[in-house]
A and B are shown apart, each in its own frame.
Chain A
């Protein structure tokens, strides 16, 4: 007499085989692996045969039937899986085939840089402006504390349009225009625009772009200029960059600063493989000028220097772009060669 215990064991084995098959089918993706499953379950030494072989002589016929049903089930499932995998295998793709080209244009490097710069300052709550490129002497020089006889006037770099009008060599004309527009503090603007100088060489083009920041409010101080400078440098160049202020002189700011950012090529060490870095001066690159707005400029803009203070900076878009790229010559930026343009 077959014990109930041994009968139960066989039924358990059938269930286990079903579960195992399910897993095996889930994990097989090719007709080869389905063939292997065929051997594993239905082959001479397969699970089904083994099951039959291990049946005691006297067995409940029910068990035999159940094993046969299992065998049929396995056959069906394996054959279905085989059809499926073979079907997919007929539709193989050479994945290295080149993709179909869609028309690809290009966005200019300067546009990309301006967009990046604008985004950084908008995050800080600056409002973007655009002020005239052709400007009167007042906004361009006289009102910025540069009197008629001042040496800064005969820089030979300014393009003159008329006796009293110039093509701006800086974006600082936006300072007085912004003060006139807002009439009172607070002011927090970034003026991005085209500027022009009578210069052409590897680091100058007659037309270039500047971004001019101006912040005026009660008790704006030097540490605020440092804050904004550092925020910009870290956002634009990278978190590992540091900035420093050096004393400088401009007529429209007092005090005035030159701002440096650590060089990305030598990591601010000034040395690469024991040779002085060719890109920077002792680990530092000049970002540009900045300063606290001169009281005369505040007055000329209709503001009272006893009631508010401010800082301003004017930096070159191409300059920051060059500091971040490996372009050997700034003039390249203004190439109209599509083979150059489409690289970006």
Chain B
């Protein structure tokens, strides 16, 4: 949490010659971070980030304690002064009772209260007003300003009620009931549900939304004479829930949800009474009320010096360790080669194990004083991960031959699913999506690619060719988690043959075994049935290539013919050849002949047929087709000897015979 406090308020608790720059820089290295510094009216205003489990540092007093310890380590004289825990506290107990408080179980950790009379309400002094303004708070009157000032100084919010506005001076702290409402000091009416902590004044009126904001009913105003002052510590989970639900993130709420120290209640009450006396002429009109049902047992944690040095990676002198811990308020007794440390009340929640103590010692000693040492960890040999390598190789190859890589969100809209003709029930849907655009986990990368092409229409001057490699998510029956499979999708304007050529070159580059393309049997819904191939490596299907259905293109607002490829990379990787096989190069020249055959068969079958005629057919290059006639350029070669023309002629005859009608 971020707090805003002034340099002068910190110095109420800190005696040091260090200037603002020295203070902020050194403390930032070892404790709370001073994010920004502003100079206002001869004072400095700090924005300080109090670490989330260190609510004890969210105040001038808390920062001062850290600063005193830290500056000392930098050899700068510094003393923590006006320690609230060391104040002498005394409250008169022979007063008449002015109010009654009933507290339901488990809502309040501690609550101290008393009433004051003879109040005269007026504006605060200039000094108080400018302190509050510098810290981002609005001065109201001398009474309310006291509670706000003390929150900033001590990190524990208090609250005041106009005692005369409370119907029966008979208050109950209880959980709210669904449908109850309270109008808070910000003039907003809040509708409550079951379980918010509230104070009711004995006549069914709610007078406080506890720990978050007071109610308007008992607001202190210019005519107030008697007040009830409370310094509470509430159940933190409940405060957090209410504050988040009502979106009331007041400073009080942010502190109470982190459970401040209940031992701080009395010192703050005492300080408040003193200020009320000084600034409003108040007189105490009740005995002290102190509700503290569960006194905490002391917390002792063992710290072994050897373990500490091993864990930090540096030998820190025992005396230094003891000094640091003592300065932070820890008690300690010797225990073997170490300490039994007692945890101070304000650190009760964040210090639990020896590692926590190690942190205290190491950070105050100074992380910046630790050397950088690369760990000497020797992993045994790991099996190669072919997926990462294949993904990167594919990306580099495709981008080198003209494709643009795109990263799309893994989440798509219902609209995109429906536009691509898919069944949304097979998708995993988020329970709390941010918007309808990002709601379902993709099972294919193609719909996103179609959107990419739509977005680029009219922008790119050339053919649009894109690709993406990302996980797809498949629901699996009986499994809590979906299968996450790495896919490659390519979408390009232009013809099938060109894209297939690119893809074949990629497969060769990746050394994928025995690739074949067969008219598709398993069609994803967005492919044109008669213009799609299933791609196999050996017997394993690894993906598809084909045209996008015209209806689907239209749904995405696209008019060009589009060729889409989608490859399951997890499957592909299992078919990558891991060996290097050498084929001797023939010393004899190959002879090249062009040949035209007429056939109804598919080109793949024709080529297979030609290839199977003789071992001397080394290579077949497809030239073109015209009216059922197909031309090929065939290379003949014998590894053992020169080929005779007669031999080639007879091979040509055999091939042509295959296609005689």
Contact = CB atoms under 8 A, between A and B. Distances in A.
Contacts of B91: none
B363 A295 contact: no
B127 interface: no
Interface string A90-115: 00000000000011111110110001
A222 B484 contact: no
A124 B378 CA distance: 10
A281 B30 CA distance: 16
Contacts of A132: 481, 484
A51 interface: no
A337 B430 contact: no
Interface of B: 28-31, 33, 35-36, 51-54, 237, 240-241, 244, 257, 310-314, 350, 353, 355-356, 358-359, 362-363, 367-368, 370-375, 377-379, 382, 385, 387-388, 392, 395-396, 398-411, 428, 430-434, 438, 441, 451-452, 455-456, 459-460, 464-466, 470-471, 473, 480-482, 484
A222 B311 contact: yes
B409 A334 contact: yes
Contacts of A104: 402
A27 interface: no
Interface stretch (A4-12, A35-43, A80-88, A223-231): A223-231
A307 interface: no
A108 B399 CA distance: 9
A244 B375 contact: no
A254 interface: yes
Interface residues of A, number: 79
A175 interface: no
Contacts of B52: 151, 249
Contacts of A125: 377-379
Interface in A249-268: 249, 254-258
12 contacts: A105-B405, A107-B405, A125-B378, A133-B484, A160-B430, A165-B481, A206-B434, A221-B312, A226-B372, A254-B355, A254-B356, A256-B359
Contact of A226 (B358, B371, B408, B438): B371
A273 interface: no
A183 interface: no
A133, A136, A255, A339: residue with the most chain B Cβ atoms closer than 10 Å: A255
Contact of A106 (B31, B350, B399): B399
Given A106-B399, A206-B434, A254-B353, A188 B481 contact: no
Contacts of B464: 338
Interface string A209-240: 00000010101111110111111000000000
B471 A221 contact: no
Contacts of A247: 30-31, 51, 359, 363, 367
A294 B355 CA distance: 8
B406 A336 contact: yes
A128 interface: yes
Contact of B367 (A198, A221, A222): A222
Interface of A: 102-108, 110-111, 115, 118, 124-125, 127-128, 130, 132-136, 149, 151, 154, 156, 159-162, 164-165, 167, 186, 188, 194, 196, 198-200, 206-207, 215, 217, 219-224, 226-231, 244-249, 254-258, 281, 292, 294-295, 309, 333-334, 336-339, 341-342
A133 B311 contact: no
A147 to B, nearest CB: 11
B315 to A, nearest CB: 12
A220 B341 CA distance: 24
Given A105-B399, A230-B372, A337-B459, A255 B481 contact: no
Nearest to B460: A338
A98 B188 CA distance: 69
A281 B362 CA distance: 24
Contacts of A110: 407
Nearest to A220: B375
B62 to A, nearest CB: 14
Contact of B378 (A115, A186, A229): A186
A228 B375 contact: yes
Contacts of B367: 222, 226, 244-247, 257
Contacts of A106: 399, 404-405
Contact of A165 (B51, B355, B375, B480): B480
A253 to B, nearest CB: 9
Contacts of A341: 404-406
B29 A336 contact: no
Given A105-B401, A224-B375, A338-B466, 7 more contacts: A125-B377, A132-B481, A159-B432, A194-B470, A220-B375, A336-B406, A341-B404
Contacts of B237: 149, 151
A133 B452 CA distance: 23
A292 B355 contact: yes
Contact of B359 (A186, A200, A221, A255): A255
A177 to B, nearest CB: 12
A245 B392 CA distance: 33
B590 to A, nearest CB: 29
